[in-house]
Structure 1
């Protein structure tokens, strides 16, 4: 095999270049300054963020939006510790990420050197694979292994490199990605299991399909629609994955779970057979909502996932279909193509339309409210109406952001990036920047609360510097809404540490170089959004809403009313 003489920095950068890496997120550090010097010659864009947490989140947003591993890097020690939240988010969201962690020199390891921590141990629980470079001439191999793991395992893969190895020299082979990895896609389920599933679905009286992240990631949406039409089965989407199936489809119901579609939950509650495609059925997304205990415990559950550990982990299954969601769905379509299915698809569609119309009317009645201060639901309704059809919406965690789940109805997969299973506050703006850099020609917005914004607003400077025209819709109600709602329900309206004394966020964003506007009336939202999406600069729209109006808590079983025994703490 032909080899070339190179240094560690060259081997490192060349391995990234051959993988097609376009962007790396981080903050300049001495530990990797030597390879950083040649990034631009390799066609790699280094995005200097204002906090390394954002570097990992941007890499995750890039990976989620583009479907390829995002890449981030941190200075040894404190730079690496700052990456943890973003990596944890990527792991729980099954997002491919490669994280580079330069380390102290190999000669000083274990001596308590300046900025030395055990970076492998630190990131073990938030990565799916780790590679520690023990010799300089293994750098290229380590990068290739990390990309193989990120693709195959769907999560963050770490490469830990002692900084002195960047200066080593050796002869390195030139390997292309197809020579050392696949795209990570798996095959379908065993034929016998598909036959059993097809028989159960054909015999079902009220089958319902639940579409999850696997539908989006595998590109299975069209096949799911074909399967639904064949079965006469309504399709609901899993919590935080509104884009797994379009609600405007005649069989589309919208999302189950927190602040989701009441139409979806009503129909799911009556199912006798559930086909869960591409989902682990996170228990949090199955909690009672709108006083509807919607997951029928006596229904037959057929669950599909690419991970065998997810099958049957949350709910007892009648059958597990291990495999790539697109492949499994195609197998079911083929198996059912000649089956005798007696359901009247037209009648099912009519019933779905009735449920959706009733829910849409109820939602509008809940939202069409005028007040001296803008009602949160009115604001979210106006935002949803004004968003472009092809927008990618990124959502933070929180009371108002969670409420948006009922209003946002994306028509294409990959257009709805929820906060994810980590549920981190303040993660969405950096994620949206990464998503926009992955989808340069498509509009991207983020809906984020003021508490979350306080943790991430410094990245407006990154968006301005990098000319990333992402639109931030900042819902400012001057409270930590989700926790304040808990205090309302469980602490007799004793409000402690949930009020926020905010500055003018729009003015701060304007001073950072963004286009910014403060909005106080519902009728201002649509024209402001039209201008925002026409802008070539980053935009921050500060929407002032009523902090006294809060939606349901995320879950009522998470807290109990306090009990106090000591006299000091009673009453």
Structure 2
């Protein structure tokens, strides 16, 4: 007699075959067979309080591990709809999140059934692909396909709808396939003609600059880029949100470029005669799509794994569809004999300017009470370990912090990127910690964002996930309040936030809380939090008047 099991058990068996370590999920009646299978599975359930934050945890886990992060919405309808924000965030970050959601029974579709929503249509715009499993005997096939698509270049989130009747139906137990048999094992090599054209352009340059984006953050990818920089005497700037693409200890690394970067890196980009763009789209966060940030006279070599991204926002001289790190290595080898005193002087000048900039930044940091952002960032630079993984929210203080802090290498900085999501950082940090348990994980966010997601403190406590969350508490939605100050005559409405003392909230959840009211207290509190066994929260009182407008062009029609 053939052994059978439920479609829900088949789904968990498929996850086990994928060597899935964690599922971030919220229980619901639509997927009870899956939860029953997880009871005795090697896959550990991280029980969350909200599907959105569960998706952020899966996102952080995926980015930090390089493997898929799996989130399970146990309930169809409202449980599924709560996934949308997190999946849109993962799509913007090209993060391989696999979302599984219960769905109403197949026979109830289009009958205005309880909690009915068209989940196939709902998830299509925010994923690489969405499927609805038609029968229990195909559950494993669709979960395998979900992993294959999510992890194929360019990576991204996918979604699988699992109808109630599919999960409850019995299906024969079958052997699972080896994931290595249905995965991509390579990426395209650079075209030799395009590579030769790029070499000629680099050799003719006097002021080359390398732009390093998210496409060079895979293991072993930054070293060829650093080698190319050394060979051709080109400073390296990082695209915003990817300041960890090159370790801060690399002398030729200049920090983040563009309107959300630092002035020295941005100046180098504008002064460059050739830009070698590796794994970056030159998109909104990097350039605002403006020649104010990319010199129209600069010749651009763009290397991208996604061919449609090449030349999309700025005219290019050479486009190369290939793996960026591999191409950097090939360029370094081809340019090895192309020495230039002019380029060497250019590089030396950039290094000295960077040193001066960093020294001046420390000198200009304001050490007073109430705490100023510059003083807070200096204090954090002095206490954060070199190997820390740092997660960020959206908002102006976090946007400033991304370039104010230093990173030991790829997968050390996790931000919302172009989706600009508030309430991301804390939950993301929990996923990062599970992926990299031996690293300290520090999550920065504002008081508004933490207020959205602090219920996951109990998740962190229940599962012993030891992260440090630094709440930069200025009692407001700071970006919007700055716009109201600068462009709407200080007519403040809806911009102030009333929050409880977050150190006490942490303690109420069973975590450890700290409070910092002065810059000197910041270092002591963060240092103590890093040594805490279990999750910790540091509530930092930041000056509510220390507001900053990043986009001063946003409301020029109201500007004075």
Aligned counterparts of 2:122 and 2:245: Cα–Cα separation in 1: 34
Deviations 1:103-140 (A, max 9, x none): 11112122111111111100111000122111221101
Is the Cα contact below 8 Å between 1:287 and 1:555 reproduced in 2? no
* Aligned match for 2:436, one of 428, 436, 439: 439
Aligned counterparts of 1:347 and 1:206: Cα–Cα separation in 2: 9
**What SS class does the counterpart of residue 540 from structure 2 fall into?**
strand
Q: TM (normalized to structure 1)?
A: 0.94
> How far has the Cα of 1:157 moved from its partner?
1.1
Aligned counterparts of 2:427 and 2:23: Cα–Cα separation in 1: 14
In structure 1, the partner of 2:517 is 520
In structure 2, the partner of 1:491 is 488
Deviates more, 1:17-26 or 1:488-497: 488-497
In structure 1, the partner of 2:399 is 402
In structure 1, the partner of 2:361 is 363
In structure 2, the partner of 1:78 is 78
Deviations 1:396-430 (A, max 9, x none): 11121112123111121110112211001111111
Distance 1:287 1:7, change over 3 A: closer
Aligned counterparts of 1:219 and 1:297: Cα–Cα separation in 2: 33
**What SS class does the counterpart of residue 42 from structure 1 fall into?**
coil
Deviations 1:289-309 (A, max 9, x none): 9xx944211100011111111
Which aligned pairs between 1:431-470 and structure 2 lie closer than 5 A? Answer: 431-470=428-467
Aligned counterparts of 2:148 and 2:39: Cα–Cα separation in 1: 24
Deviations 1:442-492 (A, max 9, x none): 100111001111111111111111110010000001111101111111011
* Aligned match for 2:541, one of 503, 524, 544: 544
Deviations 1:165-194 (A, max 9, x none): 1232333342110122235x4122211111
Distance 1:9 1:501, change over 3 A: closer
Aligned counterparts of 1:221 and 1:359: Cα–Cα separation in 2: 24
**What SS class does the counterpart of residue 320 from structure 1 fall into?**
strand
Q: Does 1:318 align with 2:317?
A: yes
Is the Cα contact below 8 Å between 2:371 and 2:542 reproduced in 1? yes
In structure 1, the partner of 2:349 is 351
Aligned counterparts of 2:305 and 2:3: Cα–Cα separation in 1: 39
Distance 1:362 1:492, change over 3 A: farther
In structure 2, the partner of 1:200 is 201
Q: Does 1:92 align with 2:92?
A: yes
> How far has the Cα of 1:255 moved from its partner?
0.5
> How far has the Cα of 1:5 moved from its partner?
4.2
In structure 2, the gaps of 5 or more residues are none
Aligned counterparts of 1:105 and 1:296: Cα–Cα separation in 2: 57
**What SS class does the counterpart of residue 243 from structure 1 fall into?**
coil
In structure 1, the partner of 2:19 is 20
Aligned counterparts of 1:445 and 1:369: Cα–Cα separation in 2: 22
Aligned counterparts of 1:182 and 1:18: Cα–Cα separation in 2: 17
Q: TM (normalized to structure 2)?
A: 0.96
Distance 1:28 1:288, change over 3 A: closer
Deviates more, 1:35-44 or 1:417-426: 35-44
Is the Cα contact below 8 Å between 1:261 and 1:359 reproduced in 2? no
Q: Does 1:255 align with 2:252?
A: no
> How far has the Cα of 1:278 moved from its partner?
0.4
> How far has the Cα of 1:258 moved from its partner?
3.9
Aligned counterparts of 2:189 and 2:317: Cα–Cα separation in 1: 18
In structure 1, the partner of 2:182 is 180
**What SS class does the counterpart of residue 419 from structure 2 fall into?**
coil
In structure 2, the partner of 1:41 is 40
Which aligned pairs between 1:114-263 and structure 2 lie closer than 5 A? Answer: 114-152=114-152, 153-171=154-172, 172-182=174-184, 185-217=186-218, 219-263=220-264
Q: How many residues align?
A: 555
Q: CA RMSD in A?
A: 1.8
In structure 1, the partner of 2:266 is 265
> How far has the Cα of 1:541 moved from its partner?
0.2
Deviates more, 1:16-25 or 1:485-494: 485-494
Aligned counterparts of 1:457 and 1:472: Cα–Cα separation in 2: 10
Aligned counterparts of 2:48 and 2:90: Cα–Cα separation in 1: 18
> How far has the Cα of 1:350 moved from its partner?
2.6
In structure 2, the partner of 1:393 is 390
Is the Cα contact below 8 Å between 2:281 and 2:310 reproduced in 1? yes
**What SS class does the counterpart of residue 455 from structure 1 fall into?**
helix
Q: Does 1:374 align with 2:375?
A: no
Is the Cα contact below 8 Å between 2:94 and 2:155 reproduced in 1? yes
Aligned counterparts of 2:330 and 2:538: Cα–Cα separation in 1: 46
**What SS class does the counterpart of residue 240 from structure 1 fall into?**
coil
> How far has the Cα of 1:327 moved from its partner?
1.9
Aligned counterparts of 1:329 and 1:542: Cα–Cα separation in 2: 43
**What SS class does the counterpart of residue 486 from structure 1 fall into?**
helix
> How far has the Cα of 1:384 moved from its partner?
1.9
Aligned counterparts of 1:159 and 1:500: Cα–Cα separation in 2: 37
Is the Cα contact below 8 Å between 2:91 and 2:128 reproduced in 1? yes
**What SS class does the counterpart of residue 314 from structure 2 fall into?**
coil
In structure 2, the partner of 1:567 is none
Distance 1:288 1:351, change over 3 A: farther
